[in-house]
Chains A and B, each alone.
Chain A
Amino acid sequence: MVIRSSDLDLGFVQEVSKISGEAVKSCFQCGTCTGTCPSGRLTSLRTRTIIRKTILGLKREVLSSPAIWECMICFKCHEQCPRGVNIPTVMLALRNLAVREGVLPPEGYLKMGKSLFEEGAVQPPQEVVTRDFESISRASLNLPSVSRPADLDKFSRGLSETNLRKIIGG
């Protein structure tokens, strides 16, 4: 792989460290993270590579990579990291940055965000089926009605102040 200096953003690693609060540059590339990653066995996620490219400053490549969305945030790598880097938190910072740079996140996240504004929840109560294929609603189980914000308008206004509406595009 040829890396051109024009592809590098030398401030990228500082940006990621600032957002995540993690000393990303302290990584010495031992690869324990990739070795412990249960997602990487099945997906394109190679944790060490993502960290290395971040340190190098390959901003555009890292932020457009589907791999940063394939971390399960299980913290297995973090428990093993000899440099004490909270890698899942770094992955979340990379996702946040990607969204800020205009990368479209997996659709499910946008759906959950939209539903929060409309319902005050990531999804409304679902009809489920029993093992005998009988349809069951929450109400029929004698459970109290779902908890939701008392004033959805005020709640949505608060949520908008966190910039969420702009991100989900509504």
Chain B
Amino acid sequence: MKQTCVRSLEDRHTRFGLFLGCYAQTEQYACELSARQVLPKLDIDLADIKGAACCGFPLNSINNLSWIYLTARNLALCEDQRLDMLPLCNGCHLSMCEVKHALQTDPALKEKINSILASEDLRYEGKTRVRHIIEVLHDDVGPERIQKAIIRSMSGLKFAAHYGCHALRPSELGRPDDSRDPRKLETLIGALGAQWDLYPERLDCCGAGIAVSAGESSLKIAGAKLERLRASGFDGLVTTCPFCMRMYDARQEAIGALFSSATSFPVFYYTQLLGLCMDIDKASLGLHLNMSPVDELFQKFQPKTA
């Protein structure tokens, strides 16, 4: 009998097309650096999606069809390259899910999009599975395998989780975690041996959505959370989304200039903390690129230097 290619039960490798979107690959480099370091160590293989462009989310404000086209184009590229998709940004992930839903329920729109995609010899059918990094780490890999993969513990440290709006809402579309009481990111923090706690501002928006139209207000929204966390006994804020990270970390100096009280507070990508526990050196995880005072953590947790 001809030997068929059956995946062994022990072979838990999964493969995703890594969708980087805009900020992750043009300024939030630590997001991509740390994801590329830790995910393969958990048997998640990453492929590049050839020809990928912006997810289009920002353009939805000025022209709905441009957004749908750009998102569908990225999904069609994945289909063409036979890849499932792993977007690192919450906004990209929501875009993919919303557009998949829209094109499934509106065949006329799907045909219109396909007629435009034809100029690049692409066709959208809707076969690409889209997974959020929190789902991959929590549901696919799971906290037990993370515990086995790490060699150092973050016990004695306490972190606050920030999911970001689009990882939780709109709930009817099916998001990575429960919109009212999510726990997956906290569970993942716990898998590193660290403590976590809930806090009143946990589900609040980072403010990035109005960075373009009302810059100062968006900084104040991000700053309000940092101010509360500063006073609350946490060692750091943890997120996976580059858009949220950009607000809480990269814009922290600008936020500080607007607030009279202290808003300076360490902010990390979850994949950076996971990498530290795998004893990966700081620079490989992009920890020199965090603009918030992350060195405060290193007084309690001595990371490997290159």
Q: Which residues of A contact B (CB under 8 A)?
A: 19, 38-39, 42-43, 66, 69-76, 78-79, 86, 92-93, 95-96, 99, 105-110, 112-113, 116, 120-126, 128, 130-132, 134, 136, 138, 141, 143-144, 146-151, 154-155, 157-159, 161-164, 167-168
Contact = CB atoms under 8 A, between A and B. Distances in A.
A123 B242 CA distance: 15
Contacts of A75: 165-166, 169-170
Contact of B50 (A73, A105, A138, A147): A147
A146 B49 CA distance: 10
A73 B214 CA distance: 13
A138 B53 contact: no
A143 B65 CA distance: 32
Interface string B200-225: 00001101111111100110110000
6 contacts: A92-B61, A95-B61, A121-B53, A141-B286, A164-B63, A167-B63
Most buried by B among A108, A116, A147: A147
A126 B28 CA distance: 9
Contacts of B165: 72-76
B195 to A, nearest CB: 26
A162 B65 CA distance: 6
B172 to A, nearest CB: 9
B42 interface: no
A72 B51 contact: no
Interface string B32-67: 110010000000000011111110001111111110
B207 to A, nearest CB: 7
B61 A19 contact: no
Nearest to A153: B119
Contacts of A126: 26-27
Bin the interface of chain B by size.
35 or more
Interface stretch (B8-16, B138-146, B273-281, B288-296): B288-296
Shortest beta-carbon contacts, A-B, top 6: A72-B209, A108-B212, A75-B169, A69-B213, A74-B205, A42-B217
Nearest to B115: A161
Given A105-B61, A146-B26, A79 B170 contact: yes
Contact of A116 (B25, B52, B54): B54
Contacts of B63: 96, 99, 162-164, 167
A123 B64 CA distance: 20
B194 interface: no
Contact of B59 (A39, A74, A76, A112): A112
B151 interface: no
A113 to B, nearest CB: 6
Nearest to A144: B48
B210 A72 contact: yes
Contacts of A159: 66, 69-70
B179 A92 contact: no
Contacts of A79: 169-171, 179-180
A96 B64 contact: yes
